[in-house]
Structure 1
């Protein structure tokens, strides 16, 4: 059985965005997890969702800490015909996904701080690997098929390998800003988010096998056998030169007669007969041939023997060169960078019942630089830089609080993915083609959240969200894929005291499977289907000092 372990968290490749666009984590509070719609929030998590609305909080200090536990599964089903298995399952578990908020409100001003992972935050584990990394090895038996025609004992019937790559990716967001109320109805916000980002990768590819044997050992052994065959054929191509000295006196004799007369030893006889058999002659025919006839047959066959020997010599060298590539490989690197996100926001509260809010996050320019210790795979050259920009976001919300027992919020997000360069599709790059990961339209989300106030200090909430990506088939691959989805959420709010509040919630995202067609030379067109689900459980407290 194949043992293939792959743990991956490429921020550019296997992106770990859990509730948000292609790269952004929008799940930044327990209130969000229980409602899904917070763009018109006036509570402390408005630091992230509606910072201009913070001026509606009471004067004083406000603090909050929330944490989520996130589970995500990924399923990849491929029809690529040479793989040992076409089904791959991935799993991501994040025990702690924290958010910290602090607000100081005084008169018309509110100053705020927010800290949380705005991108990444976890590790993805694929116990069976992913197709793109396994495909090259799965093609080896087919590529070596001609060896079986040379000698059936050299036929390659199976491959096997182990891969292990453990990676982590965290893009922290440290947000500072100030909100100002122009009057009772209108306020605005200006702030900046620092995004210190780190990816780490440590992994190996090892124990590559062919026919259940170490691949390098097997290839070197096959090379030795093929080289021996080439030497034997070269020797047969030289038979006319060996026979030339004795032809004038022994041309009419058979091989048996020559051996009997002591003019040829049995080993030479066996080698000459083996060559004649390669020409398709039977033992009876060979026994009846004299040396002149044998020499004539070899003169005609010698160029073919020499040409085949040359081909086999090249094959032997190729096998030896391939064997050197089958050794264990290791990668150990870290990528680091810093980005900055300017943020502005506006909040309008025409009366106590309604809230209208808009927030715009500018594109985060982010460049990551490799700090590489080992890179046998050639993936992370030391000192190389790569762009990992985070798209701009437009967030708008409407909140209604006109009933004592009900609060409703409607939120809309647009992630400006078309303004970001996502590079080339890794699957095609492995085939030597350059196919850009195009975006057809921007990623959008629309969510409705309802909070039912059972009493003055207790409420439960529900929420629903529709997310629609705008990627093209050229964007998708097993390294990085995006699925449109539906999300459902629910939870509670318990106001323990006037100053202390507890929030908890759970959400589940149901992604729509996406099937993409690929083309591979020698294999043709095949389909690959991507699917995933995400579950998040959150809890946290907020505390105020009036």
Structure 2
């Protein structure tokens, strides 16, 4: 029955809610609607370059340039989890998920939903003869609320062993089954304020230096309640069931001790006292089991901050423009501010590493015609150098790479349409990095949209992009310990299939003066 304690702990580990958008493992790159309609912005001269190509901002017209953007994002995360206990083959406990709604192959599907109703961002720049100064505000990571209404496979795997343990303990059922109620809500926000300056050496070359101050705010609430199992044909809440049994045994023990006080026969007295001790031992064991299956709750907030140094270059010649930037690794430690933690895994005041990985980008734009442009970019995220809790980054096979391309066409002097694609390739190794509580898979993204000139100095951007995620299959073994004999240790053969969906709609306004 010690497996029940592990089930409660697994619930809390699920609080590592992952960011919603395209980009590195912990990075959002969609800070402007122009990106949503054409991802390859790293070699483009425009106001959204405050994030994507800050050195290129020096080549904008002199004066002030502002961009205000709003996005709406929706994402689902789907995990198909399976579990086989080979030691229980030919019994109802061979594929335990079947006992709580799993399919005939012992697989259950868990869906998490995440949404960002409104995600704002801002870019602003003042461009002079040689110097320009920039400010960008946005969410560098996270940015939404994620909800898992039905828990996850990692919640359920340990609880799913309960019917077998009960059968071994003499509390069998002709209709074995179990249930639990679990719920997780997570919010993760990494706010970034980027400041920097660009110097234009000549009409061809400019350089940028700046930094981004990042502030992390996470909030997690969750519970796992009503762990129940079928005993003797009746579904029983185990906390109440074990508690009632413990009370019954304690009552029996008290009665036996009272009876022992009234007898004079030494043999009978010893027998009654031995019975009382046995009943008390049973009550203590049941009380311990009751503690293991009690409802568990979590309420924790996390905060932290860190600074990202950024440098960049832009080279402009004829029909070509090439931009590059380097963001160094951001050291972040987040500190727990825990109100309730029935698992002991989110101890108040504990700091956890949660770095933002460094990033190198290279992009180019080529003007095929005065009104037709092609773009291409490359991103390299230094994920292996970003510290994570328990050195999780060591489980990655390598760093993340992205390949981006797009086109822009000025249909008229007042209307521009564009489209682009992005290939994100994670190096996940053998999949040990992935859990149902925090996972990514490689993907393809497609974006399209338009820019409409509303006035001489005002432009409206609208765009939509979606991401198609690959499926990643993970197969692994897990060993758990129970108090039930002969299954003192049990090996589980687990499978997880991970995939996601992502859709983002955005609108933005650019103003020059």
Pair 1:209–1:152, CA change in 2 (3 A): closer
Structure-2 residue corresponding to 1:215:
238
Q: 1:107-144, CA deviations, whole angstroms, 9 ceiling, x for partnerless residues?
A: 11110000000000011112221111222222222222
* 1:304-319 paired onto structure 2 within 5 Å: 316-319=283-286
TM-score relative to the length of structure 1: 0.78
Q: 1:491-522, CA deviations, whole angstroms, 9 ceiling, x for partnerless residues?
A: 11111222001111111110100000121232
State the 1:311 CA deviation.
Answer: 8.4
1:519 aligns with 2:477: yes
Largest Rg, 1 or 2: 1
Pair 1:401–1:41, CA change in 2 (3 A): same
Q: Which residue, 450, 453, 457 being the options, matches 2:414?
A: 457
Distance in 2 between residues matched to 1:11 and 1:120, nearest whole Å: 15
State the 1:57 CA deviation.
Answer: 0.6
* 1:259-298 paired onto structure 2 within 5 Å: none
Count of matched residue positions in the alignment of Structure 1 and Structure 2: 459
1:528 aligns with 2:496: yes
Structure-1 residue corresponding to 2:5:
none
State the 1:421 CA deviation.
Answer: 2.8
Pair 1:386–1:107, CA change in 2 (3 A): same
Q: Which residue, 315, 333, 358 being the options, matches 1:367?
A: 333
Distance in 1 between residues matched to 2:119 and 2:370, nearest whole Å: 33
CA contact (8 A) 1:78 1:87 kept: yes
CA contact (8 A) 1:30 1:66 kept: yes
Structure-1 residue corresponding to 2:485:
none
Structure 1 runs (4+) deviating above 6 angstroms are 8-12, 225-234, 241-245, 308-313
RMSD: 2.9
1:443 aligns with 2:400: yes
CA contact (8 A) 2:204 2:315 kept: yes
Structure-2 residue corresponding to 1:125:
147
- Name whichever of 413-422 and 9-18 sits farther off: 9-18
1:412 aligns with 2:378: yes
3-state secondary structure, aligned to 2:317: coil
* 1:3-152 paired onto structure 2 within 5 Å: 13-80=16-83, 81-83=95-97, 84=100, 85=102, 86-148=108-170
Q: 1:224-283, CA deviations, whole angstroms, 9 ceiling, x for partnerless residues?
A: 56789999999xxxxxx98999xxxxxxxxxxxxxxxxxxxxxxxxxxxxxxxxxxxxxx
State the 1:481 CA deviation.
Answer: 1.1
Distance in 2 between residues matched to 1:32 and 1:436, nearest whole Å: 28
Pair 1:90–1:174, CA change in 2 (3 A): same
Distance in 2 between residues matched to 1:66 and 1:220, nearest whole Å: 57
- Name whichever of 128-137 and 324-333 sits farther off: 324-333
State the 1:345 CA deviation.
Answer: 0.2
CA contact (8 A) 1:12 1:388 kept: no
CA contact (8 A) 2:44 2:364 kept: no
CA contact (8 A) 1:17 1:23 kept: no
Gaps of 5+ in 2: 1-10, 84-94, 103-107, 258-263, 480-489
CA contact (8 A) 1:35 1:464 kept: yes
1:164 aligns with 2:183: yes
3-state secondary structure, aligned to 2:389: coil
Pair 1:354–1:515, CA change in 2 (3 A): same
1:196 aligns with 2:215: yes
State the 1:10 CA deviation.
Answer: 8.3
State the 1:539 CA deviation.
Answer: 0.8
Pair 1:244–1:526, CA change in 2 (3 A): closer
Structure-1 residue corresponding to 2:451:
493
CA contact (8 A) 2:149 2:184 kept: no
3-state secondary structure, aligned to 2:169: helix
Structure-1 residue corresponding to 2:89:
none
* 1:233-382 paired onto structure 2 within 5 Å: 316-351=283-318, 353-382=319-348
Pair 1:77–1:448, CA change in 2 (3 A): same
Distance in 2 between residues matched to 1:207 and 1:10, nearest whole Å: 19
3-state secondary structure, aligned to 1:123: strand
State the 1:213 CA deviation.
Answer: 2.7
State the 1:204 CA deviation.
Answer: 2.8
State the 1:146 CA deviation.
Answer: 1.9
- Name whichever of 410-419 and 200-209 sits farther off: 200-209
1:469 aligns with 2:426: yes
CA contact (8 A) 2:12 2:298 kept: no
3-state secondary structure, aligned to 1:349: strand
State the 1:331 CA deviation.
Answer: 1.9
Q: 1:171-196, CA deviations, whole angstroms, 9 ceiling, x for partnerless residues?
A: 01100000010111110000010001
Gaps of 5+ in 1: 1-7, 235-240, 246-301, 426-434
CA contact (8 A) 2:380 2:401 kept: yes
Structure-2 residue corresponding to 1:482:
440
CA contact (8 A) 1:62 1:543 kept: yes
CA contact (8 A) 1:454 1:460 kept: yes
Structure-2 residue corresponding to 1:541:
509
3-state secondary structure, aligned to 1:40: coil
Pair 1:363–1:13, CA change in 2 (3 A): same
CA contact (8 A) 1:197 1:338 kept: yes
State the 1:12 CA deviation.
Answer: 7.6
